[in-house]
Amino acid sequence: MLDGFEEIAAGLVATAKSFHARGWLLGTSGNLSAVGQREPLLLAMSPSGVDKGELRADQLLSIDQNARIVGQPGGKPSDESLLHIRIVRDRGAGAVLHTHSIWNTILSDVYARDGGVRIEGYEMLKGLQGVSTHEHAEWLPIVENSQDMATLAESVGETLNKHKAAHGFLLRRHGLYSWGENLAQAKRHIEILEFLLETIGRTLHIRANAI
Ligand SMILES: [Zn+2]
């Protein structure tokens, strides 16, 4: 087992429970990872099919750069492990988090034709790394969903390359991905983006009803 794995696993469990309590990881959905070692890559990854509100640190899996389990006899890492690995590689992320909230699911479809969601003028944008003013315009790209994880990882890679300033992306009718240099920053980014997506969604709803 990696040095510090238990501490990393405990951090991921605390994050999972916190997100689950807010309705962002219901029905065993979503997944979480954090880098344990860069070279060769080892990632602490949430298991597939486990209730994130009941997740235990000993259920976290250590996987390599090909999403194969390392040093543990059983368990199945999340189906979306390849996406996490791609984000870690392309963005140099220390942690990657993926949520299935109602608002991120709705907006990933509402804005699909635009290819992304433009978020501008909100104070909460300053919670994103490197952003110092509410005047920042964040482009949250939307990637078409697929069950073929190798293909989806390629689409994600192309999107990350095209939108180098993005702090996250949406998978259409599926969910939100964000990341950070470490778990604390990744958690902050998810909280900020979920807040902003819900704000945009509720604003659309209120305006539609006001007409
Ligand atoms: Zn998902």
Distance from residue 29's CA to the centre of ligand 1 (Å) = 6
Distance from residue 133's CA to the centre of ligand 1 (Å) = 31
Inform me whether the pLDDT recorded for 72 exceeds 90.
Answer: no
Q: Does residue 125 contact residue 119 with C-beta atoms inside 8 Å?
A: yes
Distance from residue 188's CA to the centre of ligand 1 (Å) = 19
Inform me whether the pLDDT recorded for 211 exceeds 70.
Answer: no
Distance from residue 47's CA to the centre of ligand 1 (Å) = 12
Question: What percent of the chain has a predicted confidence (pLDDT) above 70?
Answer: 99
Inform me whether the pLDDT recorded for 210 exceeds 90.
Answer: no
Distance from residue 55's CA to the centre of ligand 1 (Å) = 17
What mean pLDDT is reported for the chain?
A: 95
DSSP three-state, residue 38: coil
In this prediction, residue 74 carries a pLDDT of 77
- Distance of alpha carbon 196 from alpha carbon 154, whole angstroms: 27
Q: What is the helix, strand, coil percentage profile of the chain, to 5?
A: 45, 20, 35
- Distance of alpha carbon 209 from alpha carbon 211, whole angstroms: 6
CA distances from 208 to 93, 107, 118, 201, 203 (A): 38, 15, 19, 11, 8
Q: How confident is the model at residue 77 (pLDDT cuts 50, 70, 90)?
A: confident
Distance from residue 28's CA to the centre of ligand 1 (Å) = 10
CA distances from 182 to 29, 105, 140 (A): 22, 25, 20
Average pLDDT over residues 116-145: 97
- Please report which helix (H) or strand (E) contains residue 175, including its range: strand 175-180
Task: Residue count of the chain, please give it.
Answer: 211
Distance from residue 25's CA to the centre of ligand 1 (Å) = 9
Q: How confident is the model at residue 169 (pLDDT cuts 50, 70, 90)?
A: very high
Give per-residue pLDDT as tens, 193-206: 999 999 999 999 99
Distance from residue 100's CA to the centre of ligand 1 (Å) = 6
> What is the model's pTM?
0.96
Average pLDDT over residues 1-30: 93
- Distance of alpha carbon 25 from alpha carbon 102, whole angstroms: 10
- Distance of alpha carbon 35 from alpha carbon 49, whole angstroms: 21
Distance from residue 142's CA to the centre of ligand 1 (Å) = 14
Q: Residue 178: beta bridge partners?
A: 97, 168
Distance from residue 176's CA to the centre of ligand 1 (Å) = 8
Distance from residue 96's CA to the centre of ligand 1 (Å) = 12
Give per-residue pLDDT as tens, 30-66: 999 999 999 999 999 999 999 999 999 999 999 999 9
Of 117, 97, 88, 95, nearest to 105 by C-alpha is 117
Question: What percent of the chain has a predicted confidence (pLDDT) above 90?
Answer: 91
Distance from residue 120's CA to the centre of ligand 1 (Å) = 26
Residue 123 φ/ψ, nearest 5 degrees:
-55, -40
Q: How confident is the model at residue 180 (pLDDT cuts 50, 70, 90)?
A: very high
Q: How confident is the model at residue 1 (pLDDT cuts 50, 70, 90)?
A: low
